[in-house]
Amino acid sequence: MNSTKIIHNLPYKKPFLFVDELTEISENGVTGNYTFKEKEFFYEGHFKDNPITPGVILTETMAQIGVVCLGFFLLKDEISADKKPQIALTSNNIDFFLPVLPNEKIIVISTKEYFRFNKLKCSVKMINSKKELVCRGTISGMIIAK
């Protein structure tokens, strides 16, 4: 399953799809990016006259790229038109260091820690276009093709 097909098959759509491109993917990890557009739905209220991307959205972006996309790749032989993946976030532990502003492009780098019994745990980090660390941590989820 190639990167384009993985993104196309994700169970998200705008305005809750936070994956523009996957630049690397293998059995051991994934790298992808997303640009937070100025008109994203959450900027209007977070914060008034000083929009900043909410931490929960940054976490969701890391989960979509770093866990879900990688999980789809790892289950590529089990996923079909009849067997769509079911996904559930099971835990996360994220530390935040820098804000992400409207029109900012971020890169998510995820490394698989383990994938067994359909549970995927990854070390993830997000960097900005200046290669500065925005946030990092671990995210785990269950991915099952049914």
pLDDT for 13-62, tens place per residue? 999 999 999 999 999 999 999 999 999 999 988 888 899 999 999 999 99
Average pLDDT, the chain: 94
Question: What is the average pLDDT across 56-83?
Answer: 91
Instruction: Give the pair of three-digit tokens for residue 40.
Output: 């994203």
pTM of the model: 0.95
Catalytic one among 1, 3, 46, 102?
46
Q: How many CB atoms lie within 10 A of CB 60?
A: 18
Is 8 catalytic? The answer is no
Give the C-alpha separation, 45 to 24, whole Å. 34
In the chain the domains, ranked by start, together with CATH numbers, are 3-145 (3.10.129.10)
Confidence of residue 7 (pLDDT cuts 50, 70, 90): very high
Give the C-alpha separation, 21 to 88, whole Å. 22
Report whether pLDDT(81) > 70: no
Q: Which of 81, 59, 79 is nearest to 141 (CA)?
A: 59
